[in-house]
Structure formats: C-alpha cells, structure tokens
C-alpha cells in the first residue's frame, strides 16, 4: 500500500498501482473528471502516472490539478502543442519536429519543413486540430533506453530529435515519449489525460526561429498558438492582446503627434515632434535640476571623436559592427581601412587584390611609398596604420565616456575636487541591426541622460548611495513604484576582470551594503558583471505588468586605466580615480517610449504636452477664452484655445481623444463671473470655479507631480510578463 498526503494534511492509503486519477476517483467521480494533472511536491506529473515511483518511505505529497490551477493551463498548452504538431504532420509531409514548449499565454512548436507556412494555412491546421480534439484520444506515456529511443526517432525520420538525444540529452539513460494516436513525440511531459480537455485554441502566428538558438544554424518555422479551458477565457485573452496593442507607443506616438521615424531620415532615427519634445524637455529639465542640487556639473561634448580616442578606450574596433563606420577626411581613408582589414583577415590578402589596392591608392592620390609587398603582414599593416595616424578619422560617438574622461584630464586634478560629477544629455549613435529597431525603444540615435562620476575608491559607497537615491526619485516621480535591482557581480572563478582584487572586493561589498540598507528588492547575479566593474540595473514593472530595464549604475576600473586618469592625493602622490557611469532614464527615447505605453498616452499633469484646452461655447466667448489663455500662459501652463466654429461637444470630444488632462468650458455665464466650468479628463465635470482657484488647484497637481490613472491599475492578470524589452544602454 502507498501512503498519500493530501493538501489538507490527511493521509490516505491506496493500492500500489494507484495514480493521481485513481486517487481522485476515490474522492469523487466529478473530481476525477476534472483532474488535468497532479503535483507531487513541486513536480507536475500526468494524472495517469503511477505514484509508486515517487515513494521514498514518507507519505507522497499529492495535489490534484484542475482547470482552476494555473499550472494546469500550462499542461493543457503543452498538450495543445502536441496536437498542433500532429495536425501539421498530417497536412504536410516530411515534417521534422524540433521543440514545442509553452510560453506565457500559449505555446509554440518549431518545425523544419520544406514548404513555407503562412497565415492562410492556419484555418487548415486549426480544422485538423479540431478533428484530433474531438476524438479525445488519451496521451500515453512510455520510456525507452537510449538505443531504442534513437531507433524510434530514426524510424519516424525525426532527425532533429535524434540529434537532440545524442547531444542535449547525452546524459539521460532513459527517455520519455508520449503517444497520442499515430503521433509519437519525445517529451518529458506532463500532459492532459486526453485531447478532449482542450476547449479553446487558436493558431496565432508564424515566425522564423533558429535550431537551438544558433543564428548560424538551421532556421526553423515557429508556429505560435494559444489554448484555454473555455472559449470565454480565450476571448478575454484575445481582447487583452488587442488592448496591449492599443498601448503601443508607436501607435499612440503617431496619434498624439509625439514623435516620428521617417525612413527618409533613416531607420532608427527618431524625430521628436513638438509634443514629444515637450515631454522630453520636461523630463530633462526635471533631472537637470535634481542633478544640479546633487553636485553634478553640466558639460557638453561634440558628436564626433577621433578614432584614436576609441582605440584608447577599447571600443574600437571591438564594437565595430555595431558602430557607424568611421568618417575619413582623406579619400584614401576607407581604402586603407579596408586594406588593413583584409590583410588581417583569416583569408589573407591575395596578391592580385593587393596590387589593386596599391593602384587605387595611387589613383586617389595617396600612394604609400613605404609599403612593400615583400614585407611581412605585420610590417605592411604597421605601414598602413602609420599612414592612418597621419590622416584624420572620426567616429560618430557611440558613447560619451571617452569625452568625459578627456574633460577629467583637461587639468591636473586634486583629491579635493573629487568626486567630480560630469553630466550631459549626450546623443550617441549605434548601428543596431535593422531587425532590432523598434519604435523609440530601440533606435540608432539616442540621447543618454549620461553622467560620469570620478571619485576615490573610498567615495564609491557614498556616490553609489546617492545615485540609487536619485534613480529611485526619478522613477517614483513618474509613478513607477514597482521595481527591483539586479546587482551584477564578478564570477569568482574567472580572471577576465580588470582592476585590483582589493578594489573589486571593496566595491562589491559597498554596493551590496548600500542596496541592503536601502530596503530595495534586489538580487545579486554572480558572473553578470562587466569585465570593467560591477553594476546595478533597475528592472521596472509598468502598470500592465511588463518589465523594462531602465536605469543603470556601473563602476568602471577600466577606462581610468586606459586613459591614464589620475589625481594628486593628500599624500602628494598620484592615484587612479574610479569612474561611475550612471543613467537613471537610460535614454530619453526609450524612457519616453516606455512612459507612453505605461500611461497609454495619458501623461500626468506635470508631463502632459498640453495641460489645459479652453473650449469657448461659441465665437461670442472667444475673447474671454483668449484672455484666459493669457492668464494660464502667464501662470506657466501649457494651454491652447479651440477657436473652431464647432459645437462644444465636438471640442470636448477632441480634447478627450487627445488625452488633455483638463478642459475649461467657457460661455457667457463664465465670462460674466470671471470663472471656468472645469472638466477633468478622468472625472468629468468638476463644476464652475473662480479662475484663481483653478490656477492654484492645477498648479498644485503639477508641483506634486501627481499621477492619476483613469482605470484601476492591474484590473487583469499582467499581460506578457516576458521581459518586454531588455535593451541596456551600457557603456
């Protein structure tokens, strides 16, 4: 007999061949029908899995999973992936299966198949799935040893599965399979008892994916689907997907006229339209003011820097592929650049090409006399590099740090000047792959709210504390209160890190201490540090539950070394400072894009590009409306008057659609009493108030940076908790 412990603590005895299903049957036949799977401890298993294998002396902790358990939905979706794979195999010959896991809100399956699927095929696939589901055949588990498994997969012509068994699963002695009708798949499970449990499903989309994530490897077709226990649930989900789409900053940005990406300017190049620029400048002004309070000093630096500057910093040519190519003042610059790269390439430079290079140099008027073909590759490269150093080459700056390091070096520094905090809203350019570009969230030209703090090792802790405080203050000022910090530390086993052991230890301990005393939710991630120093990244959750990596603080032992930065200490000796990179917003583009989605375009009063729309009842009231506009402008508000010959209903509708926080409706009555019939975008009519009262009430909302949401936050389960975008603007 098996001893089984139920969730309420009772222990029941069952025969040795008991399964979760048989246990459920003992409790009641309705429960048995509802069982989807079971949980033994933390392990989710099939409802038909014999419990005996989990016996270890103590009573087996068993929990039956029904439709109500979130874990059951995952099981359902994984089974749905099998059903979809089965359907696709029926429709198309020569399908090779890859992996078919569940994801948030659904599942996918990767296939290698000769014909290209497209959306028109979905109906066919869904129809075939429906047939399979209707038959409600059971999922049957069985295990085979390695040899048998490979044989079975070979027989079924599942070459990817064979490969996976031989590589990824090399350490497994026995392998699990599931059979459902004619369909057999290598699978760990668990599965629903039978396909009839799938009550709602839909093939969602198709996309490319790589076998085992290798971009150079085989490209597969990935079919996404979703599955639910009821059509109603699925409907709700599909509506929510629509809702999330409506928050898309690209859609809202266009509708509200915030920004534009014009393909004529270039992909990934963002044009800030007046309203978007308004929001950005409000954020910049706010942060600038806070930084000035905290002892930062503004600096400016040009958008270009000599290539040598980035050679010193180590960014060139290391990140060459994601930088815009260098600008050459001399016609031969690009030629010599390509020449060197071919000389240094694995394939080497064929003699014929070398002759062509030399001729081209002559044509361009930059013949390099010292260059001799009989010299070694190293010597020839050196000659070309010597030429390069004599001719100007510039890089559009991919980061601001080298410039700021030069500002530090502009004069001898004393310990008395430290910490030196230099800040700049610095625009940088990165040549991101075209497929990575995404609205404002991933662009090729971006402005970092960048600062570099140069300090002594002993000042690191206090500077880090101040930076954390600033970042929190910034996030909370826009209503982002749900965030955690990832503290990235060294991998103790690796020796790739620059900087002394002692400094690393001190720095890591200091960062940890600050985070602990801050009471922030943080987690340390060993081995995630950059080679040049530990860092702390802020992971922020927006109002619909998506996670964003925003602000970052990074310690750097590398650049001070490379740029030979030094200061004179109290001991009259030279010392090397520590550099701290930090950016509370990350980049203005990304932050405003994120905020647009967070607020769904309805920016709070302190950030709204237009705060008040004055709506005169008719043209008779236009004069009073214009008078009011002046009063609002004088009081510092962003206000416009709707002077159109339209009805007030239309004016209000337009203001609502434009998400303007307040509307001032004025007619003869208000003009008479010097008052305003105030309307709140969220609450509706607030009644008629004297002008002075409205001005002070709205000013208060601005000064307090009050955040008000129209709908209750998180009314539904967070959509897509997959990390929404994890771009980091690291240095």
Piece of the chain touching RNA by CB under 7 A; list 273-281, 314-322, 362-370, 486-494: 314-322
Q: Which of 207, 377, 633, 697 binds RNA (CB under 7 A)?
A: 207
Q: Which of 9, 57, 93, 208 binds RNA (CB under 7 A)?
A: 208
Q: Is the peptide bond before 317 cis (omega within 30 degrees of 0)?
A: yes
Radius of gyration of the chain (CA): 32
We find the least distance from the C-beta atom of residue 511 to RNA, in angstroms, to be 17
Cα separation of 285 and 278, whole Å?
10
Helix (H, G, I), strand (E, B) or coil at 376: coil
- Here the tokens at position 574 are 């030279």
> Is residue 670 at the binding interface for RNA, with CB under 7 A as the rule?
yes
Question: In 3D, which of 549, 548, 579, 586 has the Cα closest to residue 562?
Answer: 579
Binding to RNA, residues 256-285 (CB under 7 A):
261, 263, 267-268
> Is residue 206 at the binding interface for RNA, with CB under 7 A as the rule?
yes
Piece of the chain touching RNA by CB under 7 A; list 156-164, 274-282, 376-384, 678-686: 678-686
Binding to RNA, residues 413-472 (CB under 7 A):
430-439, 442
We find the least distance from the C-beta atom of residue 655 to RNA, in angstroms, to be 8
| Nearest to RNA of 332, 534 (CB atom) | 534
> Is residue 355 at the binding interface for RNA, with CB under 7 A as the rule?
no
- Here the tokens at position 187 are 């699978």
| Nearest to RNA of 330, 656 (CB atom) | 656
Q: 614 and 642 in contact (C-beta within 8 Å)?
A: yes
| Nearest to RNA of 31, 241 (CB atom) | 241
Number of residues that bind RNA (CB under 7 A): 71
What residues form DSSP beta bridges with 567? Answer: 413, 575
Which position has the token pair 């305003």? 676
| Nearest to RNA of 67, 248 (CB atom) | 248
Q: Which of 123, 377, 386, 646 binds RNA (CB under 7 A)?
A: 646
Q: How deeply is 654 buried, as exposed, middle or buried, from its count of CB atoms within 10 A (0-12, 13-18, 19+)? A: middle
Q: Which of 92, 122, 210, 415 binds RNA (CB under 7 A)?
A: 210
DSSP 196-257: GG--EEEEEEEEEEEGGG-TTS-EEEEEEEEEESSHHHHHHHHHHHHHHHHT-HHHHHHHTT
Binding to RNA, residues 90-149 (CB under 7 A):
116, 118-119
Catalytic residue among 90, 249, 444, 452: 452
Q: 530 and 488 in contact (C-beta within 8 Å)?
A: yes
Piece of the chain touching RNA by CB under 7 A; list 17-25, 229-237, 349-357, 618-626: 618-626
430 is catalytic: yes
Piece of the chain touching RNA by CB under 7 A; list 126-134, 214-222, 353-361, 363-371: 214-222
Q: Which of 232, 246, 653, 713 binds RNA (CB under 7 A)?
A: 653
What residues form DSSP beta bridges with 185? Answer: 178
The alpha-helical segments, DSSP class H, found in 294-399 are 307-313, 333-344, 351-363, 377-389
What are the residues whose beta carbons fall under 8 Å from the beta carbon of 374, sequence distance 6 or more? Answer: none
Catalytic residue among 535, 576, 590, 651: 535
Q: How deeply is 663 buried, as exposed, middle or buried, from its count of CB atoms within 10 A (0-12, 13-18, 19+)? A: buried
Cα separation of 570 and 486, whole Å?
35
Q: Which of 74, 463, 719, 727 binds RNA (CB under 7 A)?
A: 727
> Is residue 665 at the binding interface for RNA, with CB under 7 A as the rule?
yes
**Residue 665, Cα to own-chain centre: how many angstroms?**
42
Q: Which of 685, 693, 700, 714 binds RNA (CB under 7 A)?
A: 685
| Nearest to RNA of 312, 518 (CB atom) | 312
| Nearest to RNA of 149, 400 (CB atom) | 400
187 is catalytic: no
Q: 627 and 676 in contact (C-beta within 8 Å)?
A: no
403 is catalytic: no
What are the residues whose beta carbons fall under 8 Å from the beta carbon of 387, sequence distance 6 or more? Answer: 332, 336, 366, 368
> Is residue 667 at the binding interface for RNA, with CB under 7 A as the rule?
yes
Cα separation of 581 and 259, whole Å?
28
| Nearest to RNA of 398, 609 (CB atom) | 398
Catalytic residue among 161, 380, 541, 581: 581
Q: 400 and 430 in contact (C-beta within 8 Å)?
A: no
Question: In 3D, which of 71, 75, 122, 72 has the Cα closest to residue 225?
Answer: 122
What residues form DSSP beta bridges with 140? Answer: 179
We find the least distance from the C-beta atom of residue 266 to RNA, in angstroms, to be 7
Binding to RNA, residues 229-248 (CB under 7 A):
248
Phi and psi at residue 128, in whole multiples of 5°?
-65, -40
| Nearest to RNA of 316, 464 (CB atom) | 316
Q: Which stretches of 495-544 are assigned E, i.e. beta strand? A: 522-526, 535-541
Which position has the token pair 């509706």? 684
535 is catalytic: yes
> Is residue 250 at the binding interface for RNA, with CB under 7 A as the rule?
yes
> Is residue 546 at the binding interface for RNA, with CB under 7 A as the rule?
no
| Nearest to RNA of 280, 430 (CB atom) | 430
> Is residue 222 at the binding interface for RNA, with CB under 7 A as the rule?
yes
Q: Which of 88, 223, 514, 677 binds RNA (CB under 7 A)?
A: 677
We find the least distance from the C-beta atom of residue 279 to RNA, in angstroms, to be 20
Q: Which of 215, 329, 351, 352 binds RNA (CB under 7 A)?
A: 215
| Nearest to RNA of 112, 290 (CB atom) | 112
> Is residue 492 at the binding interface for RNA, with CB under 7 A as the rule?
no
Q: Which of 158, 221, 388, 457 binds RNA (CB under 7 A)?
A: 221
> Is residue 648 at the binding interface for RNA, with CB under 7 A as the rule?
yes
Q: Which of 322, 355, 414, 703 binds RNA (CB under 7 A)?
A: 322
> Is residue 254 at the binding interface for RNA, with CB under 7 A as the rule?
yes
Q: 150 and 173 in contact (C-beta within 8 Å)?
A: no
> Is residue 663 at the binding interface for RNA, with CB under 7 A as the rule?
yes
CA pseudo-torsion sign 271, 274, 279, 281? positive
| Nearest to RNA of 207, 356 (CB atom) | 207
Phi and psi at residue 414, in whole multiples of 5°?
-110, 155
DSSP, res 492: T
> Is residue 302 at the binding interface for RNA, with CB under 7 A as the rule?
no
Angle between helix 377-389 and helix 333-344 axes, rounded to 10 deg: 160
> Is residue 356 at the binding interface for RNA, with CB under 7 A as the rule?
no
Q: Which of 127, 271, 657, 711 binds RNA (CB under 7 A)?
A: 657
Catalytic residue among 449, 450, 537, 542: 450
| Nearest to RNA of 11, 657 (CB atom) | 657
> Is residue 213 at the binding interface for RNA, with CB under 7 A as the rule?
yes
| Nearest to RNA of 196, 667 (CB atom) | 667
Cα separation of 449 and 470, whole Å?
12
Cα separation of 406 and 196, whole Å?
69
450 is catalytic: yes
Q: Which of 66, 240, 518, 688 binds RNA (CB under 7 A)?
A: 688
455 is catalytic: no
Q: 210 and 217 in contact (C-beta within 8 Å)?
A: yes
What are the residues whose beta carbons fall under 8 Å from the beta carbon of 661, sequence distance 6 or more? Answer: 602, 604, 605, 608, 611, 612, 680, 681
Q: 603 and 279 in contact (C-beta within 8 Å)?
A: yes
Which residues are annotated as catalytic?
401, 430, 448, 450, 452, 535, 581
């Amino acid at each position: 007999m098996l001893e089984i412990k139920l969730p309420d603590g009772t222990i029941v005895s069952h025969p040795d061949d008991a399964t979760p299903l048989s246990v459920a049957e003992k409790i009641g036949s309705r429960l048995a029908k509802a069982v989807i799977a079971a949980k033994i401890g933390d392990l989710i298993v099939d409802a038909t899995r014999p419990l005996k294998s989990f016996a270890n002396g103590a009573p087996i902790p068993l929990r039956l999973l029904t439709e109500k358990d979130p874990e059951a939905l995952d099981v359902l979706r994984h089974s749905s992936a099998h059903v979809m794979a089965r359907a696709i195999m029926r429709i198309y010959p020569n399908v090779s299966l890859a992996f078919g896991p569940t994801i948030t809100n659904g599942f996918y399956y990767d296939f290698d198949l000769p014909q290209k699927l497209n959306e028109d095929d979905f109906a066919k696939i869904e129809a075939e799935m429906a047939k399979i589901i209707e038959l409600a055949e059971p999922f049957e588990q069985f295990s085979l040893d390695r040899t048998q498994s490979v044989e079975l997969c070979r027989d079924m012509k599942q070459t990817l599965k064979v490969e996976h068994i031989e590589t990824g699963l090399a350490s497994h002695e026995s392998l699990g399979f599931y059979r459902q009708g004619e369909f057999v798949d290598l699978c760990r499970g668990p599965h629903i008892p039978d396909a009839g449990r799938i009550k709602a499903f839909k093939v969602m989309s198709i996309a490319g994916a790589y076998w085992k994530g290798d971009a150079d490897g085989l490209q597969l077709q990935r079919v996404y689907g979703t599955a639910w226990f009821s059509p109603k649930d699925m409907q709700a989900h599909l509506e929510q997907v629509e809702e999330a789409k409506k928050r898309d900053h690209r859609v809202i940005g266009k509708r509200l006229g915030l920004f534009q990406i014009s393909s004529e300017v270039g992909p990934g190049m963002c044009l800030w339209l007046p309203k978007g620029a308004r929001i950005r400048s409000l954020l910049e002004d706010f942060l600038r003011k806070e930084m000035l309070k905290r002892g930062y000093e503004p600096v400016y630096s040009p958008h270009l820097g000599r290539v040598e500057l980035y050679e010193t910093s180590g960014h060139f040519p290391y990140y060459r592929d994601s930088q815009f190519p260098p600008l050459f003042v001399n016609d031969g610059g690009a030629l010599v650049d390509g020449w060197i790269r071919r000389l240094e390439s694995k394939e080497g430079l064929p003699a014929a090409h070398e002759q062509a290079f030399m001729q081209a140099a002559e044509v361009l008027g930059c013949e390099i006399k010292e260059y001799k073909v009989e010299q070694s590759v190293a010597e020839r490269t050196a000659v070309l590099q010597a030429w390069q150093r004599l001719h100007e080459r510039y890089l559009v700056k991919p980061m601001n740090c080298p410039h700021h390091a030069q500002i530090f070096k502009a004069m001898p520094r004393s310990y008395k000047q430290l910490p030196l905090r230099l800040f700049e809203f610095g625009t940088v350019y990165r040549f991101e792959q075209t497929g990575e570009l995404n609205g404002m969230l991933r662009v090729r030209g971006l402005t970092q709210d960048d600062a570099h703090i140069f300090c002594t090792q002993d000042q690191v802790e206090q500077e880090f504390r101040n930076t954390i405080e600033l970042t929190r203050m910034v996030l909370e000022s826009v209503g982002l209160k749900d965030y955690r910090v990832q503290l990235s530390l060294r991998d103790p086993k690796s020796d790739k890190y620059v900087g002394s052991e002692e400094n690393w230890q001190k720095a890591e301990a200091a960062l940890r201490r600050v985070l602990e005393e801050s009471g922030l939710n943080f987690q340390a991630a060993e081995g995630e540090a950059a080679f040049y120093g530990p860092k702390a990244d802020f992971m922020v959750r927006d109002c619909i539950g998506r996670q964003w990596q925003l602000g970052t603080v990074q310690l750097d032992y590398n650049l001070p070394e490379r740029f030979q930065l030094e200061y004179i200490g109290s001991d009259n000796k030279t010392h090397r400072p520590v550099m701290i990179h930090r950016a509370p917003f990350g980049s203005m583009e990304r932050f405003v894009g994120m905020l647009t989605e967070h607020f769904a375009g309805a920016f709070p009063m302190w950030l709204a590009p237009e705060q008040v729309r004055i709506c005169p009842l008719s043209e008779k009231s236009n004069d009073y409306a214009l008078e009011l506009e002046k009063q609002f402008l004088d009081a510092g508000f962003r206000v416009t008057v709707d002077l159109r010959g339209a009805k007030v209903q239309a004016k209000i509708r337009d203001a609502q659609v434009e998400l303007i926080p307040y509307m001032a409706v004025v007619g003869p009555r208000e003009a008479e009493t010097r008052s305003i019939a105030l309307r709140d975008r969220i609450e509706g009519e607030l009644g008629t108030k004297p002008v002075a009262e409205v001005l002070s009430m709205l000013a208060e909302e601005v000064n307090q940076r009050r955040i008000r949401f129209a709908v209750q936050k998180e009314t539904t389960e967070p959509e897509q908790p997959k990390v929404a975008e994890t771009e980091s603007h690291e240095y």
